[in-house]
Amino acid sequence: MEYSKLKEELHQLIDQVNDEAALYQVRSILEAQTGHDWADDLSDNLREALERSLAQADAGNTIPHEDVLKMLREKYGQ
C-alpha cells in the first residue's frame, strides 16, 4: 500500500473510533515511534510534585505497602 494512502486510511479510522481507551493506546504506540516522551506533557506543578516525591523516596521517607494497606483498612474498612 502506498505510504500516503496508508496514512489517510489511518486518519479515517481514528476519526471513526469512539473508544477513548483505544485512542490513548493508539497515541501511545505512535508516540513511542516518534520518540515523544509523555513526561514532556506534564504541567510544571505536576512535574515539581513528582520531583519532590522522588527526592523523598531517595531520602528514605517512604511508607511500606503493607502499612498503607493497614491504614486504608482502618480508615475505610475492607
The answer to whether 68 touches 75, Cβ cutoff 8 Å, is no
Going by C-beta distance under 8 Å and a sequence separation of 6 or more, which residues neighbour residue 41? Answer: none
Does residue 43 surpass a pLDDT of 80? yes
Model confidence pLDDT, tens digit, residues 1-40 = 799 999 999 999 999 999 999 999 999 898 888 887 888 8
- Residue 45 pLDDT grade (very low, low, confident, very high; cuts 50, 70, 90): very high
